[in-house]
Amino acid sequence: MKIRIALSLLFVLTVAGCKAPPAPITDDTIVSSTVDGVKLTYRHAVQPPVSFTPVNEEYRALYNASVMTTPDFSGKVVTHLENGQPYTVLGTVENNWFAIAEVGQEQLIGYVPLRALVKSDLYEKTVKADSRRKRVRSAAKKTCVAVAGDSKACQNSNNGTWIIN
């Protein structure tokens, strides 16, 4: 009887000392690390930056850019920026890329090139300037007339002068 109680007690102590196995780490597991004194929280699929300079400002997307897992084009695409939508730029990282988060969030979702975003207060001005630059001026039609047989004269559309060929 004493042996049975001793074995039961030994079994209970052995089982009580066991821990459940840790949950498996997936790409969606939230992890954190400290880079240049700043604590960053991100999904396990996103690599932490080597260097980090805090910005913490709201920017808007200039085009539908890919959000990458690394601050270069060698990573995987996490999601895409939506044109004109606001994002929080957490900071600048190596290779002149931004580390971004959703507006009102502090969790790093990935990295985009600097040219993909512009400060929110400069967005309208930037889009307007870009649309003006993209307009292609159509070539003005030349006005030509026949002169003395096989010669012709054409009017220069820039200043209105006539050139005889």
Question: Tokens 């999904």 correspond to what residue?
Answer: 43
- The pLDDT of 116-144, averaged and rounded, is 76
The DSSP annotation for 45-111 comes to TSPPPSSEEEEEEEEEESS-PEEESSSSTTS-EEEEPPTT-EEEEEEEEGGGEEEEE-TT--EE-EE
- Give the pLDDT confidence of 51-85 residue by residue, as tens digits: 999 999 999 999 999 999 999 999 999 999 999 99
Whole-number Å distance between alpha carbons of 161 and 148: 19
Q: Record the tokens describing residue 160, joined without a space.
A: 């209105």
CATH numbers and ranges of domains, the chain: 30-128 (2.30.30.170)
CA atoms of 140 and 143, how far apart (whole Å): 9
Work out the average pLDDT over 112-138. Answer: 81
The predicted model scores a pTM of 0.68
Cα(56)–Cα(99) distance, integer angstroms = 10
Q: Mean pLDDT across the stretch 12-17?
A: 68
* Of 134 and 161, the one with more pLDDT: 161
